[in-house]
Structure 1
């Protein structure tokens, strides 16, 4: 097999033992599928050879690409096909002038933050260290620094892509501009991005990070506080609002996870978070302190993630504002679902509240991301401790995001559609890509007419 492929990387098969088993693992146990082959390229030139081999089989092998493996679908896995596992291509290199950072396609955001933290610079990335740079970026890239600097795709300077025909091309606004447009929000349908070059920014820390938690009985008051807080929110202030049942009592709780940039000596956190402590809503837990860098922030949820059930389905969508009627209705549905079945009480709902003004400065035609009006995103994490309840979490996550989309449209007058990175693949393409779908189909026909890339959110090439 090695002689057939003639590559420098590793080839794993079902008889490869623990190495094969380890390479199959994903963030969700429900994302694991038994691949016929897993190839871990060591250099970019390995990938065209792997593609040629897979496509030469009869029938051709299904090709999946794994970056971080954090998505809860099977997009990065294959049942009986070939997985190109980019984990060995994880080098991160900061430019000498510290104005940009080059990141290989198999890197995790933790790999990036290790480099940027040492150098005293920051980059728009994921709030969680284990998320892959590739998938996160190709879907848009909403991160803790997005309030000040926009999305990851808005900070992407160039990329190196392995195309379906085996060519390796450089792409930017000047080189292969159609391809560069498509990979900024169009998902992984146009090639394997093996290298990203991101713009860096001056150090944004220290970061105010931690947790403020309330009993579920305080929901109405917490929503009042948030509505007031939003009137003074700056691009340097963000919140994630969670509906969850923390151990050991598993009572319905409202959890605020703050992210305060430039929090020197904790002074900004004290001011920014004062409304959550002034008595309107009464927290039962208040533990917020300074974190020195994004690497530390990205590891804040490690303990909770380690204890969470691994049978996981995540779906999400966009919303226009923190409408109390919307959040209260979702709260009631979530409480009822997690109350009635102990297997699924690890399920949670989260609402991101990052200032959207910066991302709205980019025109909808400038990247493949369809949504540029001010908006936020939310996600439903369906978790089950048993196989028997997997169907229930699938149904629950799908029903909640559908409800959020419809209720938000009713309250705002705008149907915002779906978020590609929080989709499962059975959504309508026009609801994911909007007015940009036609151009994406044209670019798909140009770069992947034979549909080599059929994992992820599939875009059909435009017929001639």
Structure 2
């Protein structure tokens, strides 16, 4: 069956039994263990086109791997064709146009490494090993969201291989409906082989918030945070709060091993000296356990959370948006944290506002432009703990859903869930279905938060 494709791309086609097949099909979340019929390890747009055409002709569904870092494990599928972009990682800065040309397999770290040479940045996420493609196509929340918006807001163009295997340029002038759809509508419409991202003046050094408190003070801390955010400038609203259990790591004092803590991270995306003054209240919310706040390289700070999101772990995750954090929500969330079934949890509350919330809800598919917080919850399962972790994650989602904003979730942080998909897109869903029917009527690209053709 695969002889024709193998003649086109040679050893870049991996079939079951090939020594590279087993390693290549692995994704970040090892709770996802799927067996594609074949994997195309792409080195060029031509490889992508060949793979997509073959899949269409042979009625195979297609999964697309950028960084392979999604909690849902959408990069790999059972019985379909896996398009692996992880070798396509080129990043080129066009200073004259203030854009970065980024291949679909690039990671956030790849982008920062190149753009920071020019004192420029693309607003991306907070873990450097994340692939930019999945992040951008479903939104993209990071430390620059308050000042410069979401990653999807900063897509100014792309090369897309559609379901017929053709590569097209997509921007405001060419295929404007498809351009609209890829800025938040996920991988539903084709394979993005190259992005053009707007660049902004950031760094190379920034004022970075990095303070840790005891979780016992969390309720008062969250209440004070909300008061701070009501008067904070855009540059200071990209604050991430993380509750976790510290590991017994050698770089931590023994007294902190297995301690439940709450951490604040974020950057001030303007003048460094201003940042120190404006963010000072967030360093005085309670008695800090540690405070490493200060000036540091932006690219280095972008890697700060990497050790907390290790490769190849069994992860179960969920997400919800909130208008405000009432005492009832805070109490329920803290109860869940204290009664988590596994020591390895990440419970994050990210403050939302500034530029990302000034974009009209219908300007891109990313419709949640008026929430004040997003909750991201991950539970890393140890051996034999999978059912307990899944039940706990479901209980967090189900318990807080009635209090959430529009019952919506951030799609980059939740597994496959049909209701969550439609809730995330809100009034944009119908338009996305129309575009899906035009560009992928057979739903080849369905291993994602899927927008199903109605026909």
Decide: shared fold, TM above 0.5: yes
Unaligned runs of 5+ in 1: 409-413
Give the structure-1-normalised TM-score: 0.89
For 1:309 and 1:451, the matched residues in 2 are separated by 29
For 2:264 and 2:56, the matched residues in 1 are separated by 49
- Extract structure 1 runs of 4+ deviating beyond 6 A: none
Paired position in structure 1 for 2:244:
244
CA shift, 1:269, in A, is 4.5
1:201 aligns with 2:190: no
Comparing 425-434 and 112-121, the one that deviates more: 425-434
Contact 2:29 2:314 in 1 (8 A): yes
Give the direction of change, closer, same or farther, for the CA distance of 1:276–1:28 in structure 2 (3 Å limit). Answer: same
Contact 1:30 1:72 in 2 (8 A): no
For 2:172 and 2:232, the matched residues in 1 are separated by 33
Paired position in structure 2 for 1:16:
18
Q: How many residues align?
A: 443
For 1:457 and 1:26, the matched residues in 2 are separated by 17
Give the secondary structure class of the aligned counterpart of 2:156.
strand
For 1:9 and 1:207, the matched residues in 2 are separated by 45
Paired position in structure 1 for 2:111:
112
CA shift, 1:164, in A, is 0.4
For 1:362 and 1:205, the matched residues in 2 are separated by 27
CA RMSD of aligned residues (A): 2.1
CA shift, 1:73, in A, is 1.2
CA shift, 1:451, in A, is 1.1
Give the secondary structure class of the aligned counterpart of 2:234.
coil
Task: Summarize deviations over 1:168-222 as a string: whole Å, max 9, x none.
Answer: 1111111101111111111111111111111111124522335322222212331
Task: Summarize deviations over 1:404-445 as a string: whole Å, max 9, x none.
Answer: 33123xxxxx52422222232223243122111111111111
1:441 aligns with 2:440: no
Paired position in structure 2 for 1:327:
330
Contact 2:71 2:414 in 1 (8 A): no
For 1:49 and 1:193, the matched residues in 2 are separated by 14
Give the direction of change, closer, same or farther, for the CA distance of 1:447–1:143 in structure 2 (3 Å limit). Answer: same
Paired position in structure 2 for 1:411:
none
Contact 1:63 1:452 in 2 (8 A): yes
Contact 2:62 2:81 in 1 (8 A): yes
Give the structure-2-normalised TM-score: 0.91
Give the direction of change, closer, same or farther, for the CA distance of 1:165–1:206 in structure 2 (3 Å limit). Answer: same
For 2:39 and 2:120, the matched residues in 1 are separated by 35
Paired position in structure 2 for 1:365:
362
CA shift, 1:155, in A, is 1.4
Paired position in structure 2 for 1:431:
423
Give the secondary structure class of the aligned counterpart of 1:391.
helix
For 2:228 and 2:204, the matched residues in 1 are separated by 21
Contact 1:30 1:73 in 2 (8 A): no
Q: Comparing both chains, which one has the higher relative contact order based on Cα–Cα distances under 8 Å and sequence gaps of 6 or more?
A: 2
CA shift, 1:309, in A, is 7.9
Q: 1:287 aligns with which of 286, 292, 299?
A: 292
Comparing 214-223 and 70-79, the one that deviates more: 214-223
Task: Summarize deviations over 1:38-94 as a string: whole Å, max 9, x none.
Answer: 11111112222212323334xx33321100111011311122332110012111111
Q: 2:410 aligns with which of 416, 419, 434?
A: 419
Task: Summarize deviations over 1:306-358 as a string: whole Å, max 9, x none.
Answer: 4x881112221211123333122111122112xxx4xx11012101124x131
Query: Where in structure 2 are the equivalents of 1:58-457 lying within 5 Å?
Result: 60-97=59-96, 99-209=98-208, 211-237=210-236, 238-248=238-248, 249-262=257-270, 264=272, 267-278=273-284, 281-293=286-298, 295-306=299-310, 310-337=313-340, 341=341, 344-354=342-352, 356-386=353-383, 388-408=384-404, 414-428=405-419, 429-457=421-449
For 1:80 and 1:4, the matched residues in 2 are separated by 16
CA shift, 1:447, in A, is 0.6
